[in-house]
Amino acid sequence: MAKTKIDAARVLVVEDNVHMRRIVATILDGFGCREVHTATDGKRALAILAEQDIDALIVDIAMNEMDGLELTSAVRNPAISRNPYQPIIVLTAHSEPRHLTAARNAGANEVLQKPVEADALYHALHRVLEDPAPFIRTKSYFGPDRRRNAGRSATVSRKAKKVRMGGRYILDFTKSETAPNRPARPL
């Protein structure tokens, strides 16, 4: 089996709930991550990031001391962080759009809802490590481009009649999906 960046990944899980922290760490061990570190809040996470090379962060949105949004903003700040381009996956138990928007505005690469499913976590980790979105800087924002699939190259499979971008099929031209003389529907 070919090695992936996940196999070599050093991941820091930042979660104040001991049970969720163990669940996520166990899932990452199952993926074959090289190292899995844990922290109970954003302040401890920043201390670990200052001393160790970490390939990706998985951060709870709601924690004491320093929450996941504050941590994400701090990591994106080059005056505070050794690596403002650090891949960050935010976990939230809240499904309201405002929480997703807040995480994206803080600079999260991916946002997943709890309880986290192993499959969703694997795909999010794969995207941030193997096919990351390009970073952008504006007056009010620094972080990954928030437009889905921005800057990622598309590949077209003539045999399958599908367009693949960022590791995901985004258009499907199969007969069951598209009527003659009509554009393909986005997936």
Q: Using one digit for the tens of pLDDT, what is the confidence trace for 127-154?
A: 999 999 999 999 999 999 977 655 555 4
Query: Is residue 89 within 8 Å of residue 125, measured between CB atoms?
Result: yes
Which of residues 17 and 185 earns the better pLDDT score? 17
pLDDT-above-70 percentage for the chain? 77
Tens digit of each residue's pLDDT (9 = 90 or more) over 37-69: 999 999 999 999 999 999 999 999 999 889 999
Q: Can you tell me the mean pLDDT for 26-47?
A: 97
User: What is the pTM (predicted TM-score) of this model?
Assistant: 0.78
* CATH code of the domain covering residue 23: 3.40.50.2300
Find the domain containing 133 and state its range.
10-144
Most confident of 90-94, 143-147, 149-153, 169-173: 90-94
Are 180 and 136 in the same domain?
no
Going from the C-alpha of 142 to that of each of 6, 86, 89, 108, 127, the distances in angstroms are 25, 12, 16, 10, 19
Are 16 and 52 in the same domain?
yes
User: How would residue 176 be classed by pLDDT, with cut points 50, 70 and 90?
Assistant: very low
Are 129 and 53 in the same domain?
yes
